[in-house]
Structure 1
Amino acid sequence: MSTPNPETTVDAEGLRDLVRDLLEKHDPQATDRLEFLRARFDAGLAWVHFPTGLGGLDAPRSLQAVVDAELAAADAPDNDPRRIGIGLGMAAPTILKFGTEEQRTRFLRPLWTGEEVWCQLFSEPGAGSDLAALGTRAVRDGDDWVVDGQKVWTSSAHTARWAILVTRTDPDVPKHQGMTYFVCDMTAPGVEVRPLRQITGEAEFNEVFLTGVRIPDAHRLGEIGEGWRVAQTTLMNERVAIGGTAMPREGGMTGVLTRTWRERPELRTPELHDRLLRLWVEAEATRLAGSRLRQQLAVGSPGPEGSAMKLAFARLNQELSGLELELLGEEGLLYDDWTLRRPDIVDFTGRGAGYRYLRAKGNSIEGGTSEILRNIIAERVLGLPSEPRSDKDVAWKDLPR
Structure 2
Amino acid sequence: MDLTESAEDAAFREEVRSWLGDHLVGEWRDLRGLGGPGRDHEAFEERLAWNRLLAEHGWTCVGWPEAYGGRGLSLWQQVIFHEEYARADAPHGVNHLGETLLGPTLIAFGTDAQKERFLPPIRAVEELWAQGYSEPNAGSDLANVQTKASLVSTSSTTEQEWVVDGQKVWTSNAHQSDWCFVVCRTEPGSTRHHGLSFLLVPLRQDGVEIRPIEQLTSGSEFNEVFFTGARTAADLVVGEAGQGWGVAMGLLGFERGVSTLGQTVGFARELDDVVARAKDNGSIDDPVVRDRLAQLKVELSAIRSFALRALALVEGGQDSAAGGGAGSIFKLAWAGWHRRLGEVAMDVAGASGLLTRGTEVPYDLDEHQRLFLFSRSDTIYGGSDEVQKNILAERVLGLPREPKG
- Give the structure-1-normalised TM-score: 0.77
**CA distance in structure 2 between the aligned counterparts of 1:249 and 1:104, rounded to whole angstroms:** 32
* 291-300 vs 231-240, greater mean Cα deviation: 291-300
Matched residue, 1:322: 343
Corresponding residue for residue 278 of structure 1: 295
State which of 146, 154, 161 in structure 1 corresponds to 2:163.
146
CA distance in 2, matches of 1:224, 1:121: 17
Q: Map of 1:260-271 to 2, 5 A cutoff?
A: 260-266=277-283, 268-271=285-288
Tell me the equivalent position of 1:165. 182
Q: CA deviation at 1:147?
A: 0.2
Distance 2:215 2:185 in 1: 29
| Aligned 8 A contact 1:158 1:193 in 2 | yes
Tell me which of 331, 336, 339 is aligned to 1:310. 331
Q: Distance in 1 between matches of 2:8 and 2:328?
A: 31
1:104 equivalent to 2:115? Answer: yes
- 2:78 maps to 1:61: no
AA aligned to 1:56 is: G
Q: What is the aligned partner in structure 2 of residue 181 from structure 1? A: 198
Asked if structure 2 preserves the Cα contact closer than 8 Å seen for 1:122 and 1:131, the reply is yes
For 2:378 and 2:178, the matched residues in 1 are separated by: 25
Q: Name the CA distance, whole Å, in 2 between partners of 1:205 and 1:331.
A: 29
Matches within 5 A, 1:280-295: 280-295=297-312
Describe how 1:69-84 pairs up with structure 2 within 5 A. 81-84=92-95
Note the alpha carbon deviations across 1:113-140, whole angstroms, 9 max, x for none. 3222211111111223211101001011
Are the aligned partners of 1:166 and 1:231 in contact in 2 as well (CA < 8 Å)? yes
Partner residue, 1:367: 382
Give the length in aligned residue pairs. Answer: 358
Aligned to 1:237: 254
The aligned amino acid for 1:98 is: F
> What is the distance in 1 between the residues matched to 2:134 and 2:187?
18
Where in structure 1 are there 5+ consecutive unaligned residues? 1-10, 342-349, 391-401
Mapped partners of 1:177, 1:274: distance in 2: 50
Q: CA deviation at 1:289?
A: 1.3
Q: CA deviation at 1:86?
A: 1.8
Measured in 2, the distance between the counterparts of 1:203 and 1:228 equals 29
Using the TM superposition, give the Cα deviation of residue 257 of structure 1 relative to its aligned residue in structure 2, in angstroms: 2.0
* Structure 2: distance between partners of 1:53 and 1:125: 39
Once the two structures are superposed, what CA deviation does each residue of 1:273-311 show, in whole Å capped at 9, x if it has no partner? 222222221121112212223334445695421122112
If the length of structure 2 is used for normalisation, what is the TM-score? 0.77
Distance 2:214 2:391 in 1: 30
Give yes or no for contact 2:149–2:163 (8 Å, CA) kept in 1.
Answer: yes
Give 1:124's match in structure 2, choosing from 135, 146, 156.
135
Name the CA distance, whole Å, in 1 between partners of 2:60 and 2:338.
Answer: 30
Distance in 2 of aligned mates of 1:368 and 1:374: 10
Q: CA deviation at 1:180?
A: 0.3
Residue aligned with 1:155, SS: coil
**Aligned sequence identity (%):** 34
Residue of structure 2 aligned with 1:247, choices 264, 267, 279: 264
CA contact (8 A) 1:163 1:184 kept: yes
Structure 2: unaligned runs, 5 residues or longer: 1-6, 26-48, 154-159
Q: Which moves more between the two structures, 296-305 or 129-138?
A: 296-305
CA offset at residue 330 of structure 1?
0.4
Give 1:63's aligned amino acid.
Q
Deviation of residue 85 (structure 1)? Answer: 1.7
3-state SS of paired residue (1:147): strand
- Give the one of 66, 69, 82 matched to 1:52: 66
CA contact (8 A) 1:243 1:306 kept: no
| 1:163–1:183 contact (8 Å) kept in structure 2 | yes
